[in-house]
Chains A and B, each alone.
Chain A
Amino acid sequence: MIVAEPKPVKEILEMVQDSKKVLTIGCKGCVTVCNVGGAKEVGVLASTIRIARKKLGIPIEVDEFLLERQCDPEYIDEVKEIIGQYDSVISIACGVGPQFLSERYPETRIFPGVNTQFMGGAVEHGVWSERCAGCGQCVIHLFGGVCPIARCSKSLLNGPCGGSDHGKCEISKDVDCVWDIIVRKMMEQDRMDELLEFKPPKSWTTARDGGPRKMIREELVK
Chain B
Amino acid sequence: MKKVLPENVKVIQVPCTGRIEILHLLKPFEEGADGVYVAGCQGDSCQYMEGISKASKRVAHVKKVLQEIDIDPERIEVFELSASRGGRFVDVAYEMTERLEALGPIL
Contact = CB atoms under 8 A, between A and B. Distances in A.
Interface of A: 8-10, 13, 40, 43-44, 47-48, 50-52, 54-55, 57
Nearest to A55: B106
Given A55-B106, A57-B107, A48 B21 contact: no
B30 A50 contact: yes
Contacts, number: 39
28 contacts: A8-B68, A9-B65, A9-B68, A9-B69, A10-B68, A13-B69, A40-B23, A43-B23, A44-B22, A44-B65, A47-B23, A47-B29, A47-B30, A48-B65, A48-B69, A50-B30, A51-B26, A51-B29, A51-B30, A51-B69, A51-B71, A52-B69, A52-B70, A54-B30, A55-B70, A55-B71, A55-B107, A57-B107
Contacts of A47: 23, 26-27, 29-30
Interface of B (DSSP majority class): helix
B18 to A, nearest CB: 14
Interface string B82-107: 00000000000000000000000011
A40 B21 contact: yes
A13 B71 CA distance: 14
B61 to A, nearest CB: 9
A51 B35 CA distance: 12
A40 B22 CA distance: 9
Contacts of A48: 26, 65, 69
B32 to A, nearest CB: 8
Nearest to A13: B69
Interface in B23-62: 23, 26-27, 29-30
A44 B23 contact: yes
Nearest to B68: A9
Contacts of B21: 40
Contacts of B23: 40, 43-44, 47
